[in-house]
Structure 1
Amino acid sequence: MKEHRIERAEVFVVGPDVERYTWAEGMSGQYMANIILRLTAASGLQGIAGGAMITPHSFDRAVGETLRHVLPDVIGRHPGEREILWKQMRNLGTPMVPQAHSLIDIALWDMAARHANLPLYQLLGGARDKILSYASTPLLADNQAYIDYVGERHEEGFKAVKFHCWCQPERDLPMCAAVRKHFEGRDLALMLDVEQRYDLHSATRAARTLSDLGFRWFEAPLVDTDIEGYREIRRQSTVPVIAAGNTWTDLQMLLQGARAGAWSALRVDATICGGITPIRKVMGLAEALGMDVEIQCWGYTLTQAANLHVMLAFDNCTYFEQPVPYPAFEYGSHDVIRTDKQGYVHAPNGQGLGIAIDWKAIEAASILHFEIR
């Protein structure tokens, strides 16, 4: 197996000139760097992974610079050594930017699936080959803009829409009521994400309102670590409540939160929680607890693909998060993931992640590029 030992790693921090969006009142247009890792074995076998780093003012190079210091330990290793590499990186002296750890693990899984001539979701278990999606909106101007936007997405085939909004209860809740009233009787699920910006009083009041409106879930009303607050929201309402999924990502932390009754479902992202290796364990943990895992997918196509493959490998996730409008999230990918007329996204074609990259476009927009041998 020596021919498959990794001999080169390339890192691209990509800052494309695309539309920038906001997710709450007072935010400026956010810069979303696309950090891409490409591993190459002596045999020519490759593995890729991508993750997003979202910051105000300018593109962030932190994940790329972190990879510079940890990738030398990957050189000479075999893609079959995923578990031991994951544990070694997890126990470094100083906690590192989590996306760096995640990208290495995902790229190793991509290599393994390509070597097996399988799409990644089939290597992971292959529970299904499609899943319903929800349109995940940016912040819009007013109630009518949301009504119009939801109508457009529904016409395209979406059966679910999640609102990013002002994160101000006095504006958010009337908007939710207006959209629900306009689309009453339609086959359309609605969700609300308030980016961890409510206080407990506002969150409990909002949850009761969303319960009455029949919302599919209420996302990130409080900071992820406020377990007691989440328990109280659930005690006072019936709408399903989930966290943002960016802070409590470790298996033991998630177990504590689930046992405490903080959330209706778990929430993680393979590109943030450490990769495919740990998210598989999260899926199993949730199944043992009788819970779903509503995986987030906000980012460019490679981020979406890694999470989609996990969703398709297991059956305890109900929706794929489809960031819209499409173009800003598809830069640098020949293959893209889009929702069909029936409201589903399908498994990408091809081996591994199944995403062909436009490397010329990636190189043209790279603000940091280096190679480790």
Structure 2
Amino acid sequence: MKDIVIERAEVFTLGPDVTRFRLAGDMGEVYETLTLVRLHSSCGLEGIAGVTTYSEHCFDEALGLAIKPLLPEVLGKNVNQPEIIFKHLMSRYNSMAPKPQSAIDIALWDLKAKAEGKPLYQVLGGNRDSIRSYASTPFFDTNAEYINFVSELLTLGFNTVKFHTWCELDKDLALLDEIEKAFGNQIDFMIDLEERYDLEDAKIIAKRLEDMNCIWLEAPLLDTDIKGYSILRENTSVPILPAGNTLLTPGLMQQAIEQNAWDALRTDVTYAGGFSGCRPIAELANGNQLPLELQSWGYTLTQAANLHMMLSIQNSVYFEQAMPYASHEALCNTPIRTEAGIVKASEKPGLGVEMNWDKMKSQTLWHYEIGA
């Protein structure tokens, strides 16, 4: 591949105008900020990436500001070896590492794949173009709303659902009763507890889930409570996964593996160092015969990065489809949608995502450009 040199770089902090939801009973409406990196090359091709971050009360503009001091480091760089650029960026002072480096790394890989004329998952070494998908629900105020929402999901072709719940034991157990009554063995499901349970309550709900079609119990405890996770796994047959937002490097995850804390590794490519940072995590999972179940709740650019990573390895089983669709398709002309329980990657070069740059202008909170 000929040399592709970065000549100009931009970062946008975007506040999409979408319907907002909650993800737990004690949580306010979640503002999902899209921080977008756009790299312009000497040959006219562009690489893009987007990180979705979550906050209450207002949009969070911090990530864009953390990316800003890293952008001068990529000007003049050749995109043929993104891992080398990533290693350099990780050696720079930055208060939010590895999230800022993640966005830049993904944009570099997107640009590299476009230069090669291939979908990104193929450049990463993947040979499958689709994966099973589950619908990831928001929080609802009543059990009836959950049941009605899942009924709608079934008509859309989903047969696997992840529930974001109250994260209160009594209410969550009542919801499980309603799910069992309404759907029996018709659906497989996961429960996401947003790191809000203590160990004793986690044992109780895990015991209840053993009698149901539960694929995994996600984030019952803080990700850092490795000892608690180890004890929980000893007391249940239900697969246990972390949230995947805190322990973001292979070294930290290795400690959890050594203590038998989880049944699978979990992270987000847009948080854990992009593709260059996440590939060693995938190798770690594979070497320990564990799945790597990536999260992809967020806007289309976030979903696409995780999807291409999943398709590049063999030990990811599920794609997380954030629902409802419309709230996560803002500013994008090429949304990712599940059909008959399966999601496929775009066959266009790179991530395969096309943004609506004109529409972005009215929803840009902050913009920075260098190299113009």
TM-score by length of 2: 0.97
The unaligned stretches of length 5 or more in structure 1 are: none
Q: Per the alignment, in what secondary structure is the counterpart of residue 196 of structure 2?
A: coil
Query: Please, which runs of 5 or more residues in structure 2 have no aligned partner?
Result: none
Identify the residue that residue 348 of structure 2 maps to in structure 1: 350
Query: CA–CA distance in 2 between the matches of 1:176 and 1:49?
Result: 37
Other-structure match for 1:371? 369
Determine the C-alpha separation between the residues in 2 that align with 1:97 and 1:253: 14
Task: Give yes or no for contact 1:214–1:239 (8 Å, CA) kept in 2.
Answer: no
Asked if 1:361 is matched to 2:359, the reply is yes
Q: Which deviations, in whole Å up to 9, do the C-alpha atoms of 1:210-236 show, x marking residues without a partner? A: 112231100000000101100111111
Cα distance in 2 for residues equivalent to 1:328 and 1:252 = 35
Count residues in correspondence: 371
Name the CA distance, whole Å, in 1 between partners of 2:207 and 2:18.
38
Output the CA distance in 2 between the equivalents of 1:194 and 1:260: 22
1:85 to 2:82 alignment: no
Instruction: Tell me what 1:14 maps to.
Output: 14
2:35 is paired with a residue whose SS is strand
Query: Aligned partners of 1:27, 1:153: CA distance in 2, in Å?
Result: 24
Q: Who is 1:251 aligned against?
A: 250
Alignment of 1:1-373 (within 5 A): 4-186=4-186, 188-340=187-339, 342-373=340-371
Q: 1:249 & 1:2 partners in 2: Cα distance?
A: 33
Give the residue type in structure 1 aligned to 2:78.
Answer: H
> CA contact under 8 A between 1:119 and 1:352: conserved in structure 2?
yes
One-letter amino acid of the counterpart of residue 368, structure 1: W
Give the aligned CA root-mean-square deviation in angstroms. Answer: 1.3
Q: 1:330 Cα deviation (Å)?
A: 0.3
**Shift of residue 144 of structure 1?**
1.7
With over 3 angstroms needed to count, the CA separation of the structure-2 counterparts of 1:94 and 1:358, relative to structure 1, is closer
Identity across aligned pairs (percent)? 43
Asked if 2 retains the 8 angstrom alpha-carbon contact of 1:12 and 1:362, the reply is no
Q: Partner amino acid for 2:323?
A: V
| CA deviation profile, 1:253-299 (whole Å, cap 9, x unmatched) | 11111121000000010000010012111111111111101100011
Q: CA deviation at 1:122?
A: 0.8
Displacement after TM superposition at 1:49 (Å): 0.2
Tell me the CA shift for residue 97 of structure 1. Answer: 4.6
User: What one-letter code is carried by the residue in structure 2 that aligns with 1:37?
Assistant: V
The letter of the residue matching 1:122 is Q
The Cα offsets for residues 46-65 of structure 1, whole Å up to 9 and x where unpaired, read as 10000112111111111111
